[in-house]
Amino acid sequence: MTQLLIDADSIVYKACFNVVTVDEAFEKFNSKLNYIKDDLWSDELHIYLKGVENFRSVDFPLYKANRPKADPASIVPELYAMLEEEEVGIQSDGCEADDLVRTAAHECKHNEDDFVVVAIDKDLFCDPFNYYNPDKSEQFSLTQKEADFNYYSQLLTGDSTDNIKGLHRVGPKTAAKLLSSTNEWKNLVIREYKERFNKDYEDVLTFVGHLIHIKRNEKDWFDIGFGDFYDRKIDVEKVGKLLGYDI
């Protein structure tokens, strides 16, 4: 049976919208999971949720700092607590739910198991896998070229949703134009960073990639050829200022 690898954080938040009690939210959460099971004809759910801490926030405290602070009246924390108490899903430890989803997907691929990645987060659309968007009830697949395009595009643009700055004034359209000019996307990304950051480009690109990259296994740190974030002992304050953060 097809394994459904679910990045469930978005489902948690939507389940808490327009409800009064955590029991109502829990019911909505389970209702959505049942809908996904029926839509994809599979009962084999693997549910992944955010945990207490992740390496991105530890290494860069401004990660996701642009997001509105949680409403004190929100029942989101209560729902997460209930899911933990009811042993629903796996909470991430030291990483994020999408890291666990991508790791599980690569394990399935290695074992030649059928699987679908259930997610709305574009960060996960960086592999040639089968996907399902639970917000749109939409299934789709990516080729290797499409997946690589998404990955290198994010290295150029950063991710404003998570407060990850990329190249100044390079949005999705500009990134697409740059990537369409060559088939050597890795070299293009390196060149663009080098043109803008000169002698500091290796540290800056490694820093951005460290935050963007979704892990395929526990030790899968971003390394485009210069060593990873920890190997290079990145000066976060210096790199942050170069990228335009108010540090």
218 forms bridges with which residues in the sheet?
none
The burial class, CB within 10 Å (0-12 / 13-18 / 19+), for 166 is buried
pLDDT tens, position by position, for the chain (247 residues)? 999 999 999 999 999 999 999 999 999 999 999 999 999 999 999 999 999 889 999 999 999 999 887 676 689 999 999 999 999 999 999 999 999 999 999 999 999 999 999 999 999 999 999 999 999 999 999 999 999 999 999 999 999 999 999 999 999 999 999 999 999 999 999 999 999 999 999 999 999 999 999 999 999 999 999 999 999 999 999 999 999 999 8
Q: Rounded distance, CA 67 to CA 241, Å?
A: 20
CB-side exposure of 165: number of CA atoms within 13 Å?
17
Chain segment 75-129, per-residue pLDDT in tens: 999 999 999 999 999 999 999 999 999 999 999 999 999 999 999 999 999 999 9
Q: Where are the beta strands (DSSP E) in 90-242?
A: 90-91, 115-118, 130-133, 138-141, 158-159, 164-165
Q: What angle do CA 157, 162, 166 make, to 5 degrees?
A: 25
Q: Rounded distance, CA 107 to CA 109, Å?
A: 5
47 forms bridges with which residues in the sheet?
6
Q: Which pTM does this prediction carry?
A: 0.96
Q: Rounded distance, CA 36 to CA 139, Å?
A: 11
Q: What separation, in Å, do the N-terminal and C-terminal C-alpha atoms of the chain show? A: 50
Q: How far is CA 112 from the centre of its chain?
A: 24
Q: Rounded distance, CA 137 to CA 157, Å?
A: 27
Long-range Cβ contact pairs of 19-24 (< 8 A, separation 24 or more):
19/75, 21/75, 22/75, 22/78, 22/79, 22/82
Q: Rounded distance, CA 213 to CA 124, Å?
A: 9
